[in-house]
Amino acid sequence: MAHIHFDEKTKAFHLQTAKTSYIFQVIKENYLAHSYWGKRVEDYHLLAQPRYHDRGFSGNPNKEDRTFSLDTLLQEYPTYGHTDYRQPAIHVELENGSTVLDLRYDSHTITSGKKPLEGLPATYTESDAEAESLTVTLKDALTNLSVELTYSVFPTYDAITRSVRVVNNGEENVKLQQIASFNVDFEDADFDFITLAGAWARERDVERTPLRRGTQAIESRRGSSSHQQNPFFALARPHTTEDQGEAYGVSLVYSGSFEASIEVDQLKQARATMGIHSFDFCWLLEPSASFQAPETVLVYSANGLGDMSRTYHTFYRERLARGEHRDNIRPILINNWEATYFDFDEEKLVAIAEKAKQADMELFVLDDGWFGKREDDTTSLGDWFVNKEKLPNGLKGVADRVNDLGLQFGIWVEPEMVSEDSDLYLEHPDWCIHVPARRRSESRNQRVLDFSRQEVRDEIVKRISAVLESAPITYVKWDMNRNMTEIGSAGLPPERQRETAHRYMLGLYEVLETITTRYPHVLFESCSGGGGRVDPGMLYYMPQAWSSDNTDAVARQRIQYGSSFVYPTSSLGAHVSAVPNHQVNRITSLKARGDMAMGGVFGYELDATAFTDEELQLVKEQVNLYKEIRETVQFGDLYRLDSPFESGNYGTLYVNRNQTEAVLTYMNTLGEANAPFKRVKLAGLETSKQYTVSGLEGTFGGDELMNIGVPLPYFYGDFQTVLWVVRSVE
């Protein structure tokens, strides 16, 4: 069955997923007008004729037709110059200095399947039957510049992807000043703008504000997707909730600087755009050259934000993440970072691993501090050679002993960085991102290696490969701990300096492609000071990410809740750490810490040798409970039941695919005197099935659990949690 239709008569394109329609049309003078994005329709006669009207101060590209202005027209990929005063999707500078561009429909092709994007991460198909793709080519007649808008429809995943490629078919150089990956003009602006904002250790707070006239935007100029904003936004109707109402999600598959903006115009129409940040960006496109902009993933839900998120989860888990770990349950790890920081030796590491084994954990991860002469964060990044003073038997010595205990061995690296105090920097001071004659700012005593340069990438790939081959390593935590400053490259001519940040990303993606395909058995976890690069671009290479350096159980409510707007649980690391918590100094129970961390890819990050017998027993119980439920948690459907951003409490439910098992996590954050009783309505179960609930006596119908709701215990004290397993009765 076709999912992309082109109507020769009306020149309309209709893209259909299981529940969504997306329609646009070639209109007069071959402009491309946006018509509709929303709930699936079969016919669209109502859209056949765009409406035109003569409006004051909205100019007319064609003087014969005063009713036609680009200033108010709903468009698919707008340009600057011919009467549209709103945010353009593309902005170029020509050799004569002009910046006017006039893109008109030229041709289109419809094919089955989906092609990979050149050099960039993107969603993919496993067979051509899974998707259909449409490429519409727009042309500027004067310059012969062509812009290819590619749409892929994944009918069963209920998602549509978009990307843009520019080809310079002309004879002149063109400077690309801005290129959005996505533009949609909505007919009205009756939406809330939902974004995921934050900071280091406070990532992905859900912010929701009504649109107002003018421009509202989110962005990162940091050279990475950032802790501060995530490359995602949703537009939701004011009354949209978790399970009702319209929501439109837009997610950018990119890990560098980005911008997304919503401009509400004079007619209260909303123009949404997203792509690489145009700030300090300029790409020189010589004749015959092309530029590929990253992909955006569009998800429409008529049934609330929960449905939108579940669509992203399944799609990203199955058709963005890759590799042999994609569909595998993830090992329960223990990481030594918060246990020892830089202060460890082989005996200490093995002692932690021994205790971890006693608690039935599966993987030991050696974090920062094993290389060069690194005793703190001032040295050695780039010198990826084991510190024999700390680890006289090398990585292999530790790994073998850890393996002998019956645990896998994993390692931390930060390949994109160099310390000023390192042999690598001494040898190659120009290998970092910098601007000649300007001071080089520091951040955590380190500089960003210039991955836009092939020789830099080659050397780092060589060094990291040697590490991975030096010991039986089955897991890698790939960290990145500072943002770019003084962005420039010694490898690029002056006219290409403003390409540095994007070329860095392309270089990073090339390195990740090389390393992850060279070591397919290794499970990679991305990290950037916790959650500074939790984005779809990284997810393509690494199926999981360290969600935050903040391991406090209460702070994790917000981090996990916000992350769940887009990212699947299988991609979000969550660890139990010691108390008082190192980031917020809060004391919570081991049970609360365990219950919250079991809502992600579970692990521990503390000195296990300090466990009392009682703690060790509880940890062992947590580990074994997680082994029972992890398939449901990591790969099930997630329902958000209570919001830390609204009620201040946290409720999440994971339901497995055949609705036979569910896991309820609830945290009542603050105790209250004489508190009312609480009940929480479950979701996603089968109405007619009978279930047991681990915290309650008896069996209950799915309908009761979802409509009447589960009575929660009376909470006495702060940070009280419930982790109940719901199982169907055979």
Token pair for 11: 């020149």
Q: Does 382 bind ligand DGJ (CB under 6 A)?
A: no
**Contact of 355 with 609, CB cutoff 8 Å:** yes
When binding is defined by CB under 6 A, the residue of 263, 549, 552, 637 that contacts ligand DGJ is: 549
Interaction residues for ligand DGJ, span 393-422 (CB under 6 A): 412
When binding is defined by CB under 6 A, the residue of 170, 249, 530, 599 that contacts ligand DGJ is: 530
Residue nearest to ligand DGJ (CB): 368
Interaction residues for ligand DGJ, span 458-487 (CB under 6 A): 479, 481
**Contact of 700 with 575, CB cutoff 8 Å:** no
Instruction: Give the active site residue among 265, 549, 607, 637.
Output: 549
Q: Does 337 bind ligand DGJ (CB under 6 A)?
A: yes
- Span near ligand DGJ by CB under 6 A; candidates 187-195, 311-319, 503-511, 527-535: 527-535
Q: Does 499 bind ligand DGJ (CB under 6 A)?
A: no
Nearest approach, Cβ of 538 to ligand DGJ (angstroms)? 14
Nearest approach, Cβ of 396 to ligand DGJ (angstroms)? 22
Is residue 129 classed as helix, strand or coil in its secondary structure? helix
Nearest approach, Cβ of 540 to ligand DGJ (angstroms)? 20
Total interface residues for ligand DGJ by CB under 6 A: 11
CA distance 162 to 620: 46
The answer to whether 479 is a known catalytic residue is: yes
Which residues, in sequence order, are bridge partners of residue 526?
478, 545
Q: Residues with Cβ < 8 Å from 297, sequence gap 6 or more?
A: 123, 159, 160, 161, 249, 250, 251, 252, 253, 312, 315, 316, 320, 536
The answer to whether 549 is a known catalytic residue is: yes
Nearer to ligand DGJ, 215 or 378 (CB): 378
**Contact of 204 with 218, CB cutoff 8 Å:** no
Nearer to ligand DGJ, 417 or 710 (CB): 417
Question: Which string of b and e fits 285-313 if b means at least 16 CB within 10 Å?
Answer: beeeeebbbbbbbbbbbbbbbbbbbbbbb
Nearest approach, Cβ of 446 to ligand DGJ (angstroms)? 10
Nearer to ligand DGJ, 530 or 599 (CB): 530
Token pair for 9: 């008569």
Residues 564-583 as x/- pattern, contact with ligand DGJ by CB under 6 A: --------------------
Nearer to ligand DGJ, 185 or 416 (CB): 416
Instruction: Give the active site residue among 479, 552, 595, 642.
Output: 479
Tokens 């990145």 -> residue: 480
Nearer to ligand DGJ, 148 or 368 (CB): 368
Nearer to ligand DGJ, 16 or 228 (CB): 228
Nearer to ligand DGJ, 390 or 678 (CB): 390
Q: Residues with Cβ < 8 Å from 443, sequence gap 6 or more?
A: 481, 482, 483, 485
- Nearest Cα neighbor of 392 from 347, 337, 336, 341 is 347
CA distance 320 to 322: 6
From residue 166, how far is each of 146, 283, 287, 291, 502 by CA, in Å? 6, 11, 11, 5, 16
Question: Which string of b and e fits 536-545 if b means at least 16 CB within 10 Å?
Answer: bbbbbbbbbb
Q: Does 527 bind ligand DGJ (CB under 6 A)?
A: yes
Q: Does 546 bind ligand DGJ (CB under 6 A)?
A: yes
Give the single-character DSSP code of 332: P
- Span near ligand DGJ by CB under 6 A; candidates 2-10, 180-188, 272-280, 523-531: 523-531
Q: Does 368 bind ligand DGJ (CB under 6 A)?
A: yes
Q: What Rg do the C-alpha atoms of the chain give, in angstroms? A: 27
Nearest approach, Cβ of 416 to ligand DGJ (angstroms)? 13
**Contact of 177 with 92, CB cutoff 8 Å:** yes
Q: Does 258 bind ligand DGJ (CB under 6 A)?
A: no
Which are the catalytic amino acids? 479, 549
Binding site for ligand DGJ (CB under 6 A): 337, 367-368, 412, 479, 481, 527, 529-530, 546, 549
